[in-house]
Each structure stands twice: as structure tokens, then as C-alpha cells.
Amino acid sequence: MSSIPKELKYASTHEWVRNEGDGVFTVGISEHAQDLLGDMVFVELPEVGDNVAAGDDVAVAESVKAASDIYAPIGGEIIAINEDLEDAPETVNSDPYGDGWLFKMKADDPSEVESLLDAEGYQAVIDED
Amino acid sequence: MANRTPLFDAHVKAGAKMVDFHGWDMPLNYGSQIEEHNAVRKDSGVFDVSHMTIVDVAGAQAKDFLRKMLANDVAKLSVPGKAQYNSMLNEKGGVIDDLIVYYFSDESYRLVVNSATRERDVAWIEKVASEFQVTITEQTELAMVALQGPKAAEKLRLVLGDEAFAPVEGMRPFMSVQVGDLFIATTGYTGEAGYEIVLPASEVEKLWDDLLNVGVQPCGLGARDTLRLEAGMNLYGQDMDESITPLEANMGWSVAFEPEDRNFIGREALEKQKAEGHDKLVGLVMREKGVLRHGQKVVVDGGEGVITSGTFSPTLGFSIAMARVPNSVGETAEVEMRKKFVTVSVVKPSFVRNGKGLV
């Protein structure tokens, strides 16, 4: 049983979103997603300053097993990336909701987050897989 | 329901993530496949390989039978216990399976073949055997584990005790010996020193527990795949199959064309292919970010090929692969990755041996 923190929002493509206030959101992948992918070996992140739309493929999580696209859960500007993942991609495995975060976004429209899944909704997505 | 090895409960107890592997419930990893991989390169790890098929061949014509069925020549084996990498081919020279043959006497051999191809293998062995005076016995009551790594000997000594370990001590690679109920061979699929141990199914869980208790890391199929690929060892069904000959799969060294009068199955097709030329299996190395993957297209001098196996190499820290390409291949190749082409180096398909990088 993988953990799905209640305070986060989720995309059906397994990204999580944390509201940091002031229209800033942190994005990562769920514990379930890192478990499916297995040991992470590279994480390719977007550039700070990139403007992306919800659903754009903006990053790649590459594990020993497979390469998986990561999609922007909402539209906005990339304002920070987790550079520590360059040397320690395995942090995505060990702490997917904490130090294993991928990037931060300034949302074009913060209300877009409301349309994402809550923990219960995301659990239902996992159960269907 | 999928087949279970006698160690199924032990895997679950050790926290394994179980997956279906050709009809068998097998452990993929026990947490981190990279940690398991590194344990085998630096210390020791143990794999459950009980799903593999063990076939004993006995009888007055055992030697003649195997000299007909197998591409390598068992007549090269004269020391009891000696092991040999081998393959059985169809008439077109395609690989039905690769295997290890253990020699006991001219009238007694043991074959260890892949599980994925078990039914087809056994049917083929029995078909070829029908023309010889031999008895074929599939050993379904035996289990098998692979203990691999630089500290494998030390760990096995701890578990067996000095007396039982004595016959194994200092054994050269590709040998085997029977110690009580244990058949212990210095073979493996990792590029490290170590043992493959065949024993009665009823005793395997105790051996497994004893090994874990002396600090041996349990390892799953994930680590098994990255280790064998670093070692440049083929995976049946991926790097070769019935439509691929040993010459196209870097297995030419295991085909014995001498003596010329040994008419093994597939010989004619191989000789023709040798004369006409053929593709070959090479190694690829990519030092940039990214991972080479099975199925990716490879463009080389004189044509195109395909990656048969690719992975991130935990030992080397970059990606490696095996690819089947035209013989005209030069020192580099272009691989199509995520819609762009990346230049990679072409090397011999052997990347790591005894913990050390070769590329």
C-alpha cells in the first residue's frame, strides 16, 4: 500500500502538486509512480523560465527499467528545479513527496489546481490500474 | 495460477516485489535492484533460479547424442564435473536455447536450460534423443540458487562448514562437484566468481535462510538482468531466438566446427552463413545522460540494426547495450532515442568483469 498524502492534489498521470501559496506549486511524482518505475537513474528536468501548458511533457524520469514522461499538471512558468536530483536521482525513490520533488511552478491560473484529483480520487485511479 | 518455486514464501517474507516471469512468480527486487546489483559486484548476492530446467542425460550413447544435438562439442570434456557453455540449434542454425552442460562421464551429463522455453526444449531434446540409446530425466524435484560475488566463497564456507566446503575450495571456473545433497558448480550469470547450487527442493529454504543470515543479499530478476548485461551475457528471447544463429549472437566461440566430421544439427546452415557473411552482436556505450533500451534503432556504417538489450549500468554509471548490426559497423553508431539520434561507441559486448569496468 503506497502513501498518498491528503494535503496534495494529483494528476491521473501520477504527478502530485503542493500549494506553496502565492500561486506557487511544487510538483513531484507519487510514491506509487516511483515504485512502478523502480530505481531512478536520471531525471531530466525542464528549464527555469519555461512556460508550459497543463498536459505538456516537461520532464523525464528514467529508471533502470523504463523512461517515463512527466506532464505539467497545470499551466504556468517553471520557476525552480530540483538540481540535487542531478547527482542523487534515487531521492525520487526514497522521498518522493519531500526531497524528491521535481520542479516548482508559478501558476497562470491557480484555480486550475482545483480540477486535479484529491487523495481519494487518485487512490481510485491506482486501484483501476 | 503461476508456478511457484520452493522459495516463494521466503521471497515474500524478504519483502520481494513478485512478478510473472514466463509463467513463474519470481522476485523482481527486494527493494532496490541497484543495491542488489552492487552487492553482487562488491560482496555477495543470492538468486533463486529454481525455475530453470534441469535435464539429466544418461546412457550408452549419451555422448553421441549430445555431439549431435549441441553446437559445442562435449567431446572436449574429459574431467568429471567440467561445465561447458553450449546451445542447441534447429536445422536452420537458429538457437532453440542456450544452456550449460555438465560432464560426469561419457554416459552421464546434466543440462541446465532456460525456463522460458522449457516445454519446447524438453520436446526437442526428447525428439533428438529418440534416435539414441539414452534416458532423459527432467529433475522437477530439484531447486537451484545462484550465489554470486567476490565474497561468495567466504559466505558458502560459513554456511557449509570447513569440512563440506573443502571439495569446493579453490575450484576453477566452470567446474562442479557433488557434496552430499548439494551439486555445486562454479558457474553463473553475473561476471563474478560464485556458485550455482542444485539441491533437493525440500532443503533449499534452509540454505537460503542460512545464506541471508551470514549477510548475503537476496537478489531479484532486475539485478540479474543488469549484471548479465554488464557481463556481456545473452538473454534468450531477447538477444537471440530461433530465428538467430549463434554467429549473429556473439556465440560463435561456443560453436565447435572442428572436428569437421561431427555433423551437429544446424552445422550446414552455419557453414553457409559463415561463407556468405552475417550480422553481428556488438556492445554499445553511451556516456551521456539517458538509457539505451531494447528495440531502439541503430544506424551504423553500411546499414541499420537494433538494440537487443539495453540498460543503465550501475557499475559503470552510464548506459550500455547489445545491438545486432551489419558486419560493416565502424567504431560509432547512431541510436534513435526519443525522436533524436545520439552517437554512441561500439565495443566488444563485455562491459564489466570481476567488479571492474572493461570499457
Quick one: how far is CA A78 from the chain centroid? 13
The confidence score (pLDDT) of residue B171 equals 96
Q: How many CB atoms lie within 10 A of CB A53?
A: 12
Model pLDDT for residues B217-243, shown as the tens digit of each residue: 999 999 999 999 999 999 999 999 999
Look at residue B249 and give its three-state secondary structure.
Answer: helix
**Residues in contact with B58: Cβ distance below 8 Å, sequence separation at least 6, in sequence order:** B107, B108, B109, B134, B135, B137
Separation of alpha carbons A4 and A18, rounded Å: 12
The confidence score (pLDDT) of residue A58 equals 97
A62 neighbourhood in chain B, CB within 8 Å:
290-291, 312
Strand-pairing partners, residue B194, are: B148
Quote helix, strand, coil % in chain A, to nearest 5: 25, 35, 40
Cβ density class B2-37: b for 16+ within 10 Å, e for less: ebebbbbebbeebebbbeebeebbbbbbbebbbbbb
B82–chain A nearest CA distance, Å: 35
Separation of alpha carbons B358 and B148, rounded Å: 19
> Residue B145 phi/psi, 5° resolution?
-125, 150
Let me know if A110 is exposed, middle or buried by CB neighbors in 10 A (0-12, 13-18, 19+). middle
Residues present in chain A in total: 129
CB–CB contact A42 B291 (8 Å): yes
Torsion of CA B146, B149, B153, B159, to 10 degrees: -60
Three cell numbers at B202? 525440500
Chain A residues whose C-beta sits inside 8 Å of any chain B C-beta: 38-39, 41-42, 44, 60, 62, 64-67, 90, 93
What mean pLDDT is reported for chain A?
Answer: 95
ipTM reported for the complex, 2 dp: 0.83
Q: How do the domains of chain A map onto residue ranges?
A: 10-110
Quick one: how far is CA B130 from the chain centroid? 27
Three cell numbers at A5? 498524502
Find the residue in A nearest to B337 (Cα): A67
Separation of alpha carbons B191 and B175, rounded Å: 15
Residue with cell 536445422: B91
Between positions 7 and 66 of B, the ones with CB within 8 A of A are 28-29, 32-34
Q: How do strand B217-219 and strand B45-48 relate by DSSP bridges?
A: parallel
Residue in A62, A64, A66 closest to B290 by CB: A62
Ramachandran quadrant class, B338 (left: phi over 0; alpha: psi -120 to 50; beta: rest): left
Look at residue B79 and give its three-state secondary structure.
Answer: coil
Amino acid identity of residue B129, one-letter, is A
The confidence score (pLDDT) of residue A1 equals 58
Amino acid identity of residue A29, one-letter, is I
User: Closest by alpha carbon to A117, among A74, A79, A67, A77?
Assistant: A74
User: Which contiguous run of DSSP H or E holds residue B347?
Assistant: strand B340-347
**Residues in contact with B168: Cβ distance below 8 Å, sequence separation at least 6, in sequence order:** B153, B156, B160, B177, B179, B184, B195
On whether the CB atoms of residues B199 and B8 are closer than 8 A, the answer is: no
Q: Binding residue per annotation — B169?
A: no
Strand-pairing partners, residue B283, are: B322, B347
Model pLDDT for residues A45-102, shown as the tens digit of each residue: 999 999 999 999 999 999 998 899 999 999 999 999 999 999 999 999 999 999 999 9
Residue in A38, A44, A67 closest to B29 by CB: A38
pLDDT at A129 over 80: no
DSSP calls for A6-51? TT-EE-TTSEEEEEEETTEEEEEE-HHHHHHH-SEEEEE---TT-E
On whether the CB atoms of residues A39 and B34 are closer than 8 A, the answer is: yes
The confidence score (pLDDT) of residue B173 equals 96
User: Closest by alpha carbon to B46, among B7, B74, B89?
Assistant: B7
User: Closest by alpha carbon to A45, among A34, A61, A24, A26?
Assistant: A61
Report how far apart, in Å, the C-alpha atoms of A35 and of each of A1, B16, B226, B293 are.
Answer: 11, 12, 18, 20
CB–CB contact A41 B291 (8 Å): yes
Question: Any idea what DSSP says for residue A117?
Answer: B
Task: Report CA torsion sign: B96, B102, B103, B108.
Answer: negative
Fold held by A10-110 = OB fold (Dihydrolipoamide Acetyltransferase, E2P) (2.40.50)
On whether the CB atoms of residues A106 and A50 are closer than 8 A, the answer is: no
The confidence score (pLDDT) of residue B114 equals 93
**Residues in contact with B340: Cβ distance below 8 Å, sequence separation at least 6, in sequence order:** none
- What angle is formed at CA B148 by the lines to CA B142 and CA B154, rounded to 5 degrees? 105
Model pLDDT for residues A18-40, shown as the tens digit of each residue: 999 999 999 999 999 999 999 99
Q: Pick out chain B residues at pLDDT < 70.
A: 1
Find the residue in B nearest to A61 (Cα): B290
Model pLDDT for residues B175-209, shown as the tens digit of each residue: 999 999 999 999 999 999 999 999 999 999 999 99
A42–chain B nearest CA distance, Å: 7
CB–CB contact A42 B32 (8 Å): no
On whether the CB atoms of residues B250 and B281 are closer than 8 A, the answer is: yes
Three cell numbers at B77? 570434456
CB–CB contact B33 A90 (8 Å): no
Separation of alpha carbons B107 and B299, rounded Å: 49
Residue in B32, B289, B290 closest to A39 by CB: B32
Amino acid identity of residue B117, one-letter, is T
